[in-house]
């Protein structure tokens, strides 16, 4: 029954994607990349929300509440939603006014195509690593609920999503996103009452969580250190990570692909704000499911498994606490969340590779037909690359977090000034990029075994030892690196204007 349900679900994805592909016209490649700039607000809002409400969003919220605190659980969804709202208020309208095709276009307009190709690298890497991390999430979920081998789950999911993304591009992705978001809402809505009832009811679960975790039952860190959990260091670190999620969530091409697909600049702005509100609202069900998992009286063997693998909080809750048909609906919610984000990310990466690398830099005389073939070929290649990484690389999630750091530190200052400061130039951009990169790497990176070579706590604090946790630095050096880039880019640009004249912001078709 479970396998039949999954086959039906994936078949539905293909049918919806195929039907949506009929909206692709015979004209420009923009139909595949930005839906011919004809997407209505309701569809843009749903596809944007579905992209941000991914498997990591659902699983991570429940995991954070179960193993740590309410503030840890709500952080991702809240910050992602604020990122969309901020992006809509400040960036979306201006990007749509210039009718750019990708995130990299304003960089090329201001700083030239060759330096834009360098700025393209962290943007593209972030999308591919995110895609691989999503496949790992869906593979592990299939393993818990269906006992399906990881390889089978990853390859099946990748093949289906790549197929409909390749056929219809942005239109197929948008309509399947809307369908998949419906699965998310339906699955969570059915699972929540059963999970709460098993935990003794909402009042018992909530009060039990608050009593057991007095310090951690807050949605935000306290203003002052409180107890052993909320120290000065952990409070500052929470806000440092939040800044990375809010501001670092803006310079992603998968975000601007939806902005640029909207019919008008005003609609681009509105859909981003609406999607931000929906994204924040959808943190509530997985947050409550995490509370239910904490209060539920797990058998000793399952409790040991859950404590060893808290990332499996939501799948285990669905598998062992809810009825089988509800578990299937919950699995559908996770599948919908993951596949919608995977298709968006793969299309985004393929669009940048095709448009900014091949079309703008290597092969400017590409015909429309060749461009379309190149986009579809890029979708297949990048989808296969993400699948291989999901199967072979054990630290995909860590790679994605590191790349997200780089996007926040390196690309947010670049995007901010490329769009809004007419006096910035390439020298200022290169200087800010390089200095911020050194400052970010200077804080160390456990993923690569890179020790810190800039002793931030020793420089800025009077109690250096308290800013290290198992060798990991809690000092907010990522935010510091981004702020330095924000300061350097306009200052150096003005000092070097005589050698490198600023370029106007324009469409780079």
CB atoms closer than 10 angstroms to residue 149: 12
Residues paired with residue 262 on neighbouring β-strands, in sequence order? 39
CB atoms closer than 10 angstroms to residue 459: 9
Per-residue pLDDT of the chain (509 residues; tens, 9 = 90+): 667 777 777 777 777 777 776 766 655 667 777 877 888 999 999 989 988 887 677 878 888 888 888 888 888 889 989 999 999 999 999 999 998 988 999 999 999 988 998 998 888 888 888 888 788 777 777 766 667 777 777 787 788 778 777 766 777 778 888 888 888 888 888 889 998 998 888 888 888 888 887 777 778 888 877 777 788 888 888 898 889 889 988 999 989 999 999 999 999 999 999 999 999 999 999 999 999 988 888 888 888 888 888 877 888 888 888 888 888 788 777 777 777 777 788 888 888 888 778 777 777 677 777 777 888 888 888 888 888 888 876 555 566 667 778 889 999 999 999 999 999 999 999 999 999 999 998 888 776 777 888 888 888 777 777 777 666 677 888 899 999 999 999 999 999 999 999 998 887 66
Task: Tell which residue, 503, 438, 443, 437, has the closest CA to residue 471.
Answer: 443
- Both tokens assigned to 468: 């290290």
Q: How many CA atoms are closer than 13 Å to the CA of 353, on its beta-carbon side?
A: 23
Gap between the Cα atoms of 108 and 62, Å rounded: 41
Residues in the chain: 509
- Both tokens assigned to 486: 């924000």
What is the per-residue DSSP string for 147-197?
A: ---HHHHHHHHHHHHHHHHHHHHHHHHHHHHHHHHHHHHHHHHHHHHHHHH
Residue pointed to by tokens 């947050």: 287
Q: Which domains does the chain have, with CATH numbers?
A: 2-495 (1.20.1730.10)
Query: Coil, helix or strand for 244?
Result: helix
- If phi > 0 it is left, if psi is from -120 to 50 it is alpha, else beta; for residue 344 that is alpha
Gap between the Cα atoms of 171 and 47, Å rounded: 10
* Secondary structure tally for the chain: helices H, strands E: 23, 2
What predicted TM-score, i.e. pTM, was given to this entire model? Answer: 0.89
Gap between the Cα atoms of 409 and 434, Å rounded: 11
């Amino acid at each position: 029954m479970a396998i039949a349900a999954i086959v039906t679900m994936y078949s539905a994805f293909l049918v919806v994607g195929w039907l949506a592909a009929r909206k692709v016209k015979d004209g420009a490649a923009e139909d595949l990349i930005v839906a011919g700039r004809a997407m209505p607000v309701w569809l843009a809002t749903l596809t944007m929300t579905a992209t941000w409400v991914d498997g990591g969003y659902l699983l991570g919220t429940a995991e954070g509440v179960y193993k740590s605190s309410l503030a840890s659980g709500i952080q991702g969804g809240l910050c992602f939603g604020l990122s969309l709202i901020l992006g809509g208020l400040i960036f979306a309208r201006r990007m749509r006014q210039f009718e750019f095709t990708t995130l990299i276009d304003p960089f090329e307009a201001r700083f030239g195509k060759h330096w834009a190709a360098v700025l393209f690298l962290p943007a593209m890497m972030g999308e591919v690593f995110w895609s691989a991390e999503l496949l790992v999430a869906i593979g592990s979920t299939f393993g818990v609920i269906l006992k399906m081998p990881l390889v089978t789950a990853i390859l099946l999911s990748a093949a289906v999503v790549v197929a409909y993304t390749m056929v219809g591009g942005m239109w197929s992705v948008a309509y399947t996103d809307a369908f998949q978001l419906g699965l998310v809402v339906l699955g969570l809505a059915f699972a929540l009452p059963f999970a709460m009832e098993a935990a003794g009811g909402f009042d018992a679960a909530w009060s039990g969580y608050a009593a057991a975790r007095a310090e951690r039952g807050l949605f935000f860190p306290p203003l002052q250190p409180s107890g052993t959990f909320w120290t000065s260091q952990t409070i500052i670190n929470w806000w440092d990570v939040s800044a990375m999620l809010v501001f670092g969530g803006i310079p992603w091409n998968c975000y601007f692909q939806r902005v640029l697909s909207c019919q008008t600049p005003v609609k681009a702005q509105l859909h981003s704000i609406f999607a931000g509100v929906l994204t924040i609202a959808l943190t509530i069900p997985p947050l409550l499911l995490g509370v239910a998992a904490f209060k539920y009286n797990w058998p000793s063997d399952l409790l040991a498994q859950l404590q060893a693998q808290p990332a499996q909080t939501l799948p285990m809750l669905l598998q062992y606490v809810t009825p089988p048909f509800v578990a299937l609906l919950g699995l559908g919610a996770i599948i919908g969340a993951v596949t919608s984000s995977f298709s968006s990310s793969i299309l985004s990466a393929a669009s940048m590779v095709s448009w900014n690398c091949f079309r703008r830099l290597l092969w400017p005389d590409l015909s429309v037909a060749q461009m379309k073939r190149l986009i579809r070929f890029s979708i297949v290649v990048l989808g296969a690359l993400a699948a291989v990484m999901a199967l072979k690389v054990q630290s995909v999630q860590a790679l994605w977090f590191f790349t997200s750091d780089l996007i926040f530190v390196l690309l947010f200052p670049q995007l901010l000034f490329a769009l809004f400061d007419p006096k910035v130039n390439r020298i200022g951009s290169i200087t800010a990029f390089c200095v911020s990169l050194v400052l970010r790497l200077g804080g160390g990176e456990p993923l690569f075994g890179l020790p810190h070579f800039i002793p931030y706590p020793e420089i800025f604090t009077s109690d250096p030892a308290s800013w290290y946790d198992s060798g990991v630095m809690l000092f907010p050096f990522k935010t510091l690196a981004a702020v330095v880039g924000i300061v350097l880019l306009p200052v150096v640009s003005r000092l070097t204007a005589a050698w490198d004249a600023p370029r106007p912001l324009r469409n780079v078709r």
